[in-house]
Chains A and B, each alone.
Chain A
Amino acid sequence: MRYLFSVILCLWPLWTMAQDWEDRQVFQGTDASRTLRILSSTDTSFFEPIIASFLAKTPELSVEYLVIGTAEIDQRFRQAPDRYDVVISSAMDLQLKLANDGFARRLGGVAHPDWAQWRESLFAFTSEPAAIVVNRAAFEGQALPRTRQELIQALRARPDVFRGRLGTYDVRDSGLGYLFATQDARASETYWRLMEVMGSLGTRLYCCSGDMIDDLSDGTIAVAYNVLGSYASARQQTDGRIAVILPSDFPTTMMRTGFVSSQAQHPQDAARFVRHLISLQSDPVSKDSLPLPPLSTDSAGQSAIALEPALLTYLDGLKRQTFIKEWVSAIVQP
């Protein structure tokens, strides 16, 4: 009994480390002597080409790529900032708070526009809009909605088609979902009306864009709101059953950000990785071949959510409590 207990005790850390990642992959460099640990919310398939091109330049490194949800990233990283070298997440607010709280290392001399970086420590490298994604079959013979307002009208017009077949992020679990929701709520009251309508029809709540897109493809749901546009567009290219709509009333555009941990084991290598990431995204040759959309050059921070300390607002405990309460009362209707 005691023997068994000690075995469990010894294996416990391994188990906790090995288990419960959404994905965990090690990319071996050809001449690897060190391993860079990257904590990321981005699906491995989108990052694989980036890591491959990085390893081609630095064969002495291996990359351990760990994927988990945005909210989890924040929790795990805060617990052990020395275990990870680079943190990449789409939840700009959580990332900015990490940087604000001193978890990000300052990198000098990175040529990057002001609006796409914060304190030379947090760097944005993509511009990804939140999209409305629909199953084309559900809109057979109907015009696709182009704005949130039109979506509300479409839902109200055919409640039977959409009842129980709507999806959006569960903002309680997903950092990115919470960011999208709060920014939408900031931008317009339309958001709350849409939530009311979606709540009244019954809405499935998801942790991740991938799951939502899967359910859209097979027709489980007909409409998903605030899906990560980059993922949906990638799927749309191979799957004709879904349509991606970028709402034209007001866009909510997120910038994927990365930073080097202030307690990174390999800070130099981590900085090289972040620089590589930035250079790839601004390089006109490589940016078309990569799966993630580059920083939009026209944005200059206008359409995108601004990287500024105001992002901390909705992370405030009281604010979050109030917002979630309101959101839940809107969307989770008995």
Chain B
Amino acid sequence: MTEGVQVSGSLRTRLAITLTGGAAVLAVLLFIVVRNYAAQIAQQGQDSILSASVTSILDAAVIRDGVVEIDFPYASFSMLSTPMDDRIFYAIYQDDTLLSGYGDLPRTSGTATRAYQGSPVRLVTASRVLIGANVRTRISVTVAQTQDALSGTLSRISRNVALFGAGFFALATLLSIWATATTIEPLKRLTTSVTRRGPQDLSPVAKPVPLEMVPLVASLNSLMARLGQSLKQSEDFIAEAAHRVRTPLATVRSYAEATLQRVDREENRQALRSMIRAIDESSRAAGQLLDHAMITFRADHLERDDLDLVDLLRELVLRLTPVAEMKDIDLHLQADGPVIINGDPILLQNALRNLIDNALKYAPGESVITIRVDAQPRVQVEIRDQGPGFPPDEIDGLTGRFSRGRNAAGTIGSGLGLTIAQDVAAAHGGTLALSNLPEGGACVTFSL
């Protein structure tokens, strides 16, 4: 089915990749945004505590007797306790002179992050002007804290956000699988409905399809309509051609026969016989082409009727008996009683005549052709001859158009007989089976 079709990617894969890829990008984005946001908030928390500490130290600064005293409260450092036991550092400057604390602590303004004693610390600095009796001095306080608790909090948040992102991604992937499946489903349904059609069915797709598929289905319908049109034209053309050829051929044949009566020289007679034979073959082929065209047309519009299959066969046998007698062949019809079926009488007659014709052509002289009609377990007609049978290696391909067995070289035929029978059987929902009998001879089973 798919052979010969150029494949360029897959809609399902493309859709799935787009959706899951999008979900992955979103998940990563989510992670980055939330983590940064959390980091900002956590940092703000630390900064505000450090600021509070700095403020409480600054507030304690007083000038007593011209000397700066800073009796800052215990809480200034107590508030900096963290679960991770972060280290704290501080420095108090009066103008540019270190009053107390860690003299090597980097001097910054506002908030900053610096490396100190081998680990990153967050520093908050603020200052205040003290005015005494005759002094004016600026006190600046820096309090710094390591970031162990902060990074602990951050890594916890990161882990949670990562889990959240992964969950989001997993959910989005499941959703995308589901979405892809639902989107692809109408396409699959269309494919199935087109695939299931009979070979002759070129009717437009009637089932409702999603909006996006309307152009495709519309062009498919129009393509099929055009195809049907052009098929019909070519069948018409063939039928017309066959018809036009058959009538002159009949004239040519009667002239050739008349001439044969008058010609005495053996080689001329031989040539004429060959000619008549070729004309017969062409005429038969034209007939069968006509039959085939007719069947192709009627198979699409079966005119069903209740009919007795045995009656139909009896009539056929009667009509073909003269031909059979010419070869001393006995046509033998076996039936237990009337077999009433619902079918197109003209098609069935044509198909069965082709099958009996075939048997007559390949059966040797002085033999019996048995035509057996069964109603149970299913309606079937079995035609057995005592001829050479089908070439076993070709038995499967014989029902194709213009296909003839190897052993058919000396026999008149177009290769359409079995095709016609098969098409009729298929149009009635039945099958045509070819087999060879163990005792020799071919057996064709036409079942409905």
Interface residues of chain A, those whose CB is within 8 Å of chain B, are 99-102, 114, 118-120, 186, 306, 308-313, 316-319, 322
Contacts and interface: CB of A to CB of B under 8 A. Distances in A.
A329 to B, nearest CB: 14
Would you list the 6 A-B pairs with minimal beta carbon distance, nearest first?
Answer: A310-B78, A317-B100, A119-B85, A310-B77, A308-B81, A309-B88
Interface stretch (B68-76, B258-266, B300-308): B68-76
B159 interface: no
Chain A interface, >50% SS class: helix
Contacts of A306: 81
Interface in B56-94: 68-78, 80-81, 83-90, 92
Contact of A102 (B74, B76, B80, B117): B117
A306 B74 CA distance: 12
A313 B100 contact: no
Given A101-B117, A102-B117, A119-B85, A318 B70 contact: yes
A78 to B, nearest CB: 13
B76 to A, nearest CB: 7
Interface residues of B, number: 27
A102 B81 contact: no
A310 B83 CA distance: 14
A322 B65 CA distance: 13
Interface string B308-335: 0000000000000000000000000000
Contacts of A309: 77-78, 80-81, 85-88
Contacts of B84: 119
29 contacts: A100-B87, A100-B89, A101-B117, A102-B87, A102-B117, A102-B118, A114-B83, A119-B87, A120-B85, A186-B74, A306-B81, A308-B77, A308-B81, A309-B81, A309-B85, A309-B87, A309-B88, A310-B78, A310-B80, A312-B88, A313-B72, A313-B74, A313-B76, A316-B101, A318-B92, A318-B100, A319-B70, A319-B100, A322-B69
Nearest to A122: B85
Contact of B69 (A186, A312, A318): A318
Contacts of A120: 85
A306 B80 CA distance: 13
Contacts of B81: 306, 308-310
Contact of A318 (B76, B80, B99, B118): B99
Contacts of A316: 70, 72, 90, 92, 100-101
Nearest to B84: A119
A317 B99 contact: yes
A213 to B, nearest CB: 30
Nearest to B99: A318
B80 to A, nearest CB: 6
A277 to B, nearest CB: 19
Contacts of A312: 77, 88
A102 B90 CA distance: 15
B232 to A, nearest CB: 89
A319 B75 contact: no
B143 to A, nearest CB: 10
B203 to A, nearest CB: 80
A322 B71 contact: yes
Contacts of A100: 87-89
Contacts of A101: 87, 117
Contacts of B101: 316-317
B98 to A, nearest CB: 9
A114 B77 CA distance: 18
Contacts of A318: 68-71, 92, 99-100
Contact of A310 (B69, B74, B89, B117): B74
Contacts of B87: 99-102, 119, 309
A310 B69 CA distance: 19
Contacts of B75: 310
B231 to A, nearest CB: 85
A313 B85 contact: no
Nearest to B116: A102
B77 A313 contact: yes
A310 B89 CA distance: 11
Contacts of A118: 85
A99 B117 CA distance: 12
A100 B88 CA distance: 7
A99 B89 CA distance: 12
Contacts of B68: 318
Nearest to B88: A309
Nearest to B81: A308
B71 A319 contact: yes
Nearest to B148: A119
Contacts of B77: 308-313
B384 to A, nearest CB: 95
Contacts of A319: 70-72, 100
A229 to B, nearest CB: 23
A99 B118 CA distance: 14
Contacts of A186: 74
Interface string B114-131: 000110000000000000
Contacts of B69: 318, 322
A68 B88 CA distance: 28
Contacts of B78: 308-310, 313
Contacts of A308: 77-78, 81
A118 B88 CA distance: 13
B335 to A, nearest CB: 100
Nearest to B64: A322
A333 B92 CA distance: 32
A100 B119 CA distance: 12
